[in-house]
Structure 1
């Protein structure tokens, strides 16, 4: 089928962001040519305005027939993280090979399924002669994996300069979880209503150098290792219930079996029990606290020389109810060693929490669209533990949501930025239908009344 061929070709192009200063720009140019070839209606339509931003990102404007309706925006990103077949892939990471109904390849779930799904949906609508009532924008960033400094940041600048205000923004983020949450009966779609903040700190220790035959009582490596151990052992506080993560379980409570349902339905009583269960697994622990990840450690020059210098980098993902400054204070008090220099490298506060009320247009339209395509799925608000391009859009809209209807089953979270990233052919088709339906559902003037 034509819709699948375009997606396979997209996965084959290695649009890798290697580092903040290195991207595969040849692949990004090739990707641009592919889009023009695969979606002829979009690029020839007098309705759609297309602009290149920051050389390789795309901004599409689709004006509606009723300009008084506030526009919305769909986001996705073209770039991917590196992948090496030697890490143990079942199929080469840029082959888009099909195995047992799944397409394997880097970018299949992060995030080319959304890039191609959104454009395929728009192409179908244009083929049918569809003109939307409500204007909308599509932003496709080319450098999300390195924080979006040229793509998303410049798209936002451009829209701000035009005075654009958005009713809602939808980007990648959370997914449909199936069999991943203990005790949950049936699949649950989590719509990210916020995302965690971030802090990276550099810890360093300097000591006089010397010969390894006459070592001091403590080396620079030993002092630094102790500081890092203190950070890992003394985790940041469990803050379950202070952010939107509590609402996730309240919305899903009726879908849990016994005895989980009793716990979820009475969080006023069982909150501490649930929070201690959640912190037992790395993927759910990330929901309840600011996480601590020691990611780089460098020291030493020669086997018989006491190192004069040791450094480590630690990455924190900040819980919704904390601020960057609070976390930096906690880091210093936990290390509590004057010999360890703590330097702030980069970071930002957690993102504002978007509304998920019954009368919030964006959330309810996304929820309705999920139910249209997946009637068996329960929808709830959630917290996005990673970061997305949408964090740059807070000045354009108070309501930013992070969700793509990719199915996650047990073990699939390890494929994200990992080995054997894949998507089923059926799921890609569902994603196209989801955006196709969302564009039409967003065309209503007002939300329908609540179901009775």
Structure 2
């Protein structure tokens, strides 16, 4: 707009009033074009909702150096518009947690927390159809942006659902809290982990957490009750160096090759369970070689006639919460990295699979969990269908409340959508986004309206202990 206002053509006109009128029309044209959805019929209310989503997506919070202050200002503005109480909490410098609250008519009841993260992963700009922070909408209504699926869509769906409920005059019985946390994409140690361990969180008396899930390529929404724990490790093999022509035993590369073969055999056996349909991907142990290094470098490559004295490989392994970790560690010690073969294992991350009660870190999604039938009913009322509950194959911030024994459901209402989180040309269709808002409206009403089925204990601890005593 600065270029228009300084245009020499406008400066040459004799009438300031004419210049102002023309400029005003151009501004209106530009703004209306930004909001217009070509080929998609939306109401004024829906267009305003989509515009707010696009505004959020345009805020660059990409790693490795996300600037969280612009997004914090945006969220503060949204909270004020909706009429929510707001706190900005900072457990690590320049990494704010934005906490919004809608107090219920019975605030002593256990509350519901809606969590999402504000950060996004890096992008390969050259491989995107549209600029990844432009939130461009095409003629089919697909909004292209980093974070459109993971997971700025969910954060705004929370707020749009609350905005709609408040406008209708609805008053929740129990309080609803909405948290926007930083750094999920790099482990959450300065974001969600510190928040869930804080007195700020304890004071909320949270009985249930909703967090992110995953898009579904068919008509059924995916829902997650647990996730796999991360084991990242290096295996290092050592041996005497030797001439490249010699057939020697116990060389570093040979020692590492045996380890790689053993790990590949195990990986194949786990993958076969998925391919046969015996188990879902989240129910098996995945282990993938992500790093490999060996050899003696030269300015132009490597020394080709020298067998190196050390070789190393790195692995990303994910464990479902029902794994016997002692047995797995024994396998690693005896087969993958035995000292007898001059091989060692070093962990970068090694997360447990049990919660603080010593039980598998998962949320029961059956009749023992009073939230689950309410959740199912809400999705059905909104016209959605649920797939069979799954274990999330990667990790999310939901692992932190689950560790404390607090039920957490992973859910991102995106059906008929290709899974594009962390991928090029990530997008979400506007109709799917708006359907998700309606789903959350139903969920929030079911969770916060007075019914016989809704949990009503005044102590979150007592509720969670009751749930986990049945495991």
What TM-score, normalized to structure 1? 0.78
Map residues 385-424 of structure 1 onto 2, 5 A cutoff: 385-394=393-402, 396-409=404-417, 412-413=418-419, 415-424=420-429
Alignment of 1:277-292 (within 5 A): 277-278=276-277, 286-292=281-287
What is the deviation of 1:419?
1.8
- 1:97 deviation in Å? 1.6
> Post-superposition shift, 1:238?
5.0
The aligned runs of 1:349-364 (5 Å cut-off) are: 349-350=352-353, 352-358=361-367, 360-364=369-373
Q: CA deviation at 1:401?
A: 0.9
Aligned to 1:90: 129
Q: Distance in 2 between matches of 1:275 and 1:313?
A: 23
Q: Report if aligned partners of 1:167, 1:362 keep a CA contact under 8 Å in 2.
A: no
Instruction: Assess, with a 3 A threshold, how the Cα gap between structure 1 residues 346 and 378 changes in structure 2: closer, same or farther.
Output: closer
Residue aligning to 2:158: 118
Structure 1 residues 239 and 194, CA, compared in 2 at 3 Å: closer, same or farther?
farther
Cα distance, 1:398–1:427 mapped onto 2, change above 3 Å: same
Name the SS of the counterpart of 1:355 in structure 2. coil
Matched, 1:226 2:295: no
Q: Tell me the SS of whatever aligns to 2:106.
A: coil
CA contact (8 A) 1:290 1:319 kept: yes
Match of 1:442 among 418, 435, 447: 447
Structure 1 CA distance for aligned equivalents of residues 452 and 128 of structure 2: 46
User: Cα 1:369–1:94, aligned 2, differ >3 Å: closer, same or farther?
Assistant: same
Q: Partners in 2 of 1:41 and 1:387 — Cα distance?
A: 33
Q: Structure 1 206/144 Cα, relative in aligned 2: closer, same or farther at 3 Å? A: same
Question: Are residue 427 (structure 1) and residue 432 (structure 2) matched?
Answer: yes
Of the two structures, which has the highest relative contact order with CA contacts closer than 8 Å and spacing of 6 or more? 1
Q: Secondary structure at the match of 1:407?
A: coil
Provide the alpha-carbon RMSD of the alignment: 2.8
Q: Secondary structure at the match of 2:323?
A: coil
In the TM superposition, what is the alpha-carbon distance from 1:423 to its structure 2 partner?
0.5
Q: 1:8 aligns with which of 46, 54, 65?
A: 54
Q: Which residue of 1 aligns with 2:467?
A: none
**2:227 counterpart (185, 195, 202):** 195
**For residues 345 and 403 of structure 2, what CA distance do their matches in structure 1 show?**
32
Instruction: Find 1:297's aligned residue among 292, 295, 300.
Output: 292
| Structure 1: gaps spanning 5 or more residues | 179-186, 241-273
Q: Match of 1:341, SS?
A: strand
- Following superposition, the deviation at residue 159 of structure 1 comes to 4.2
Conservation of the 8 A alpha-carbon contact between 2:285 and 2:320: yes
Q: Could you tell me how far apart the structure 2 residues matched to 1:425 and 1:111 are?
A: 15
- CA shift, 1:219, in A, is 4.3
Structure 2: gaps of 5 or more residues:
1-46, 354-359, 455-471
2-structure distance, mates of 1:386, 1:70: 29
Is 1:50 aligned to residue 55 of structure 2?
no
The aligned counterpart of 2:193 is 153
For 1:170, which of 205, 210, 215 is the aligned residue? 210
TM-score, normalisation: structure 2: 0.75
